[in-house]
Chain A
C-alpha cells in the first residue's frame, strides 16, 4: 500500500457532499424524534424514573393522571427539524433523509470496491493497530499528524469504523425500533438488548457521528483548510495553486450554503405549511415502508413475567357526554355498531362481544413517541368480526370512530378517528380488546373497547371505540389523511416503524 495515488474522483466528492446533506438532515430530524419522548432506557418497560438519560426539564406529577403526551419536549428549530413539537414531520424528514443517505452510502461502497479506492479505507493487516497506537502517541507528543498513504493508521481506523461499523449499526438499530419487524422477528431487537437498548444505541450513534464530524472537520482545518478543500472539491491531491485554492473555497462555500438553504427551506416549509410538506414527503416515504414493512404479520407471545408493572396511558379520557353516561353505568349500555360496505351490519353489546371467540395475547406496545411496554390483552379478533359482517368487495379500510372528543387538544379538530387497512385488520393479532392484564380495560387505556394492531405503532390503535365502518376511501373523511393524528399532527397513515 505504499505510494498510493488514489486521488479524489468525482464520485467520492459528490457522495461526500450528499453525505453531509443527508447526515445533517438525519441528525436534526433525529433530535426532533427524540423530543417525542426525551428519555432513554435500558428496559423495554420504559419505567418512569428508570431512564439512564433524559433531555427534558420536567417530570410527571405523583398522584395525578398524566399521560405520555405530557412527557414530550419541544425543541428549537435551530437544532431540530422542523422543531416545535412536530414529531410526525420529524419522522417524515428522518425517513426521507435516510433513503437518500442509504442510496448515497450504497453507491459509495459499490464504487469503492470496484475501484482501487477501497485501499484508502480498508485495513489489510493487523499492523493497523500498533501503527494506530504510534499515531496516537505522536498526537500526545504534540507532533504534527503522522503522514499516511493516504491516511495514517488512526485516521484509516476511524474512517473505516464510521463507514463500515457505525453507519450499518445505525441502520440496524433503527430497524430494531420497528414494531412490524420486531413483531414478526422477536429475536431481532434482542440482538441489541431490546427495543429501548436499541433506541439508546441509536442515540449514541448519533452522538458518535457528531463527534466524528467535529473531529474530522477540525483535523482538516488543522492540516490546512485550502489543501483539504482542494482535495474534496476539486480532486487535487497535492498542494493547490492559489487560484485552485480560491476556486475550491468558493465552491465549498456554495455547497455548504446549499446545504444550509435546504435546511432552512425544510424547516420553514414544515412549520409554515405542514400539510404541503406532509403531502410531498409521504409520496417519498410511505411507498417503501409499505413495501418493506407494512405486511409483516405479528407473532408476538411474551411470557407473563415480561408484562410491564405500571403501564403508561396515552390520551385523556373523553368528555363526550354519551361516553360519560356509558362509563357511569360500567358501559353496560354500550353497543358497537359495524356498518358501511358490509353485507351484514352488526350491533353488538359488550356482552355480545364477550360471547364471541376471544383472543388473548401478550405483546409489546410501541409508541411513536419512543417508549414501549409489554401488556396482556384479551378481545375479539377483527377477522372474526369481519367474517360476521362480510365486507363487500369494494371495502378497503376500516374506519374506527370514537368517543374521544380530544378536548385536551387546542383547536377544534373533531373527534378522534382512525383508518386501518383491511389487510392489517385481518392479521391474527389484530383485535378489539376489552380486557387488559386480566382486568376490564381501564378508562385511561380506552374503555370499553380499544384496537390492538401489533405490527403498528401505538397511535393506530384507536381507544374509546364507538363504531366501525367499512369504507373504500378515506380521503373524504376529516382532512383526508387517514386518521385524527394523520390529519392534525401530520403522522403517516401507515405505521410499521
Chain B
C-alpha cells in the first residue's frame, strides 16, 4: 500500500553516474584550466599534472609533448570524473538519497567533492606520485585543489541529480494525512 518513490537500478546508476561525472569533470576541468592560466600563466599545467599520473615526472617537463599531455591528462581526468560520478550516484541510490532535498544534495555533492580531493591529493598523490609533492603553490592548490572540488565538481554532480532525478519515480512530499483518522469506523477501515 505504500508508494515507492525511488528505485535502485544498476543501469541507472552507471549511465547517470557517468553522465553526471563527465559533466562535473568538464566544468571542473574548464575552471581549472582558466584558474591555472590566471594563477600560473600556464593553461597546460593541469594537463601535465594529470598526465604525470601515467607518464611520470617527465610529463611535467615543458619538453614533454603538449599533445600527449593534453590527451593523457584529459583521458585520465574524464575517466576518473566518470568513475567518481558513478560512485556518487551509487552512494545516493544505496542510501535512498536520489530524491533528497536540493540543499541536501548540494551538501552531499560538496562533501563528496571534498572527500575525492582528500583521496586524490592527501592519499594518492603523496603515496603513489611523491614527485608531485612540493610542485604546487598554495594558491593553485587551494583553488584548483580543495575549493574547486568542494564548490564545483561536487555541486555540479549534485546539480545533475537535482535536474535529472535518476531513479526517482514519485514525489515523497505528496504524502497525505491518513484517511479516516478522525472518522467513525467504516467498512473500508475495518476490512
Contact = CB atoms under 8 A, between A and B. Distances in A.
Q: Do A and B come from one complex?
A: yes
Contacts of B133: 142-144
B185 interface: yes
B4 A64 contact: no
B181 A327 contact: no
A324 B95 contact: no
Contact of B1 (A49, A66, A140): A66
A141 B141 contact: yes
Contact of A62 (B104, B138, B176): B176
A317 B96 contact: no
Contact of B3 (A58, A222, A317, A443): A58
Centre residue among B133, B142, B189 by max chain A CB count within 10 A: B189
A63 interface: yes
Contacts of B174: 49, 59, 62
Contacts of B58: none
A140 B178 contact: no
A141 B178 contact: no
A79 to B, nearest CB: 10
A458 to B, nearest CB: 16
A443 B184 CA distance: 6
Interface string B1-44: 11111111000000000000000000000000000000000000
A142 B5 contact: no
B190 A144 contact: no
A67 interface: yes
B190 A317 contact: yes
A140 B3 contact: no
A317 B178 CA distance: 13
B183 A443 contact: yes
Interface stretch (B79-87, B124-132, B151-159): B124-132
B181 A140 contact: no
B61 interface: no
A142 to B, nearest CB: 5
Contacts of B122: 139, 142, 222
A52 B107 CA distance: 12
A54 interface: yes
B98 to A, nearest CB: 9
Interface string A150-170: 000000000000000000000
B176 A63 contact: yes
Interface stretch (A81-89, A272-280, A305-313, A469-477): A305-313
B146 A142 contact: no
B138 A443 contact: no
A443 B172 CA distance: 27
B136 to A, nearest CB: 7
Given A70-B1, A324-B185, A142 B127 contact: no
Interface in B140-189: 141-142, 145-146, 170, 172-185, 189
Given A54-B96, A142-B134, A143-B133, A442 B183 contact: yes
Contacts of A64: 1, 178-179
A88 to B, nearest CB: 22
A137 interface: yes
A142 B173 contact: no
Interface string B97-141: 100110010000000000000000111011100001110101001
A352 interface: no
B interface residue count range (under 10 / 10 to 19 / 20 to 34 / 35 or more): 35 or more
A313 B173 contact: no
Contacts of B7: 57
A53 interface: yes
Contacts of A139: 122
A53 B100 contact: yes
Contacts of A66: 1-2, 178
Nearest to A445: B181
B96 A48 contact: no
Given A142-B136, A324-B190, A57 B184 contact: no
B5 A65 contact: no
Interface in B62-88: none
A70 B3 CA distance: 11
A155 to B, nearest CB: 14
Contact of A55 (B3, B96, B145, B179): B96
A137 B141 CA distance: 10
Given A59-B172, A317-B185, A317-B190, A310 B177 contact: yes
B141 A140 contact: yes
B126 A60 contact: no
B55 to A, nearest CB: 19
B96 A57 contact: yes
Interface string A123-148: 00000000000000101111110000
A444 B188 CA distance: 13
A219 to B, nearest CB: 9
Contact of B175 (A62, A67, A319, A328): A62
Contacts of B127: 222
Contacts of B142: 140
Contacts of A59: 2-3, 5, 170, 172-175
B138 to A, nearest CB: 6
Interface string A67-78: 100100000000
B107 to A, nearest CB: 10
Interface in A440-454: 442-445
B162 to A, nearest CB: 15
Contacts of B1: 61, 64, 66, 70
A439 interface: yes
Interface of A: 38, 48-49, 52-67, 70, 137, 139-144, 218, 222, 310-313, 317, 319, 324, 327-328, 330, 439, 442-445
The 10 A-B pairs with the shortest beta carbon distances in the complex, nearest first, are A62-B176, A58-B2, A310-B177, A48-B175, A49-B173, A59-B172, A65-B180, A327-B185, A49-B175, A442-B182
9 contacts: A49-B172, A54-B172, A55-B97, A57-B7, A62-B174, A141-B136, A312-B178, A442-B183, A443-B183
Interface of B: 1-8, 95-97, 100-101, 104, 121-123, 125-127, 132-134, 136, 138, 141-142, 145-146, 170, 172-185, 189-190
Given A63-B176, A442-B181, 8 more contacts: A53-B100, A55-B95, A59-B174, A64-B179, A65-B179, A141-B136, A142-B121, A310-B177
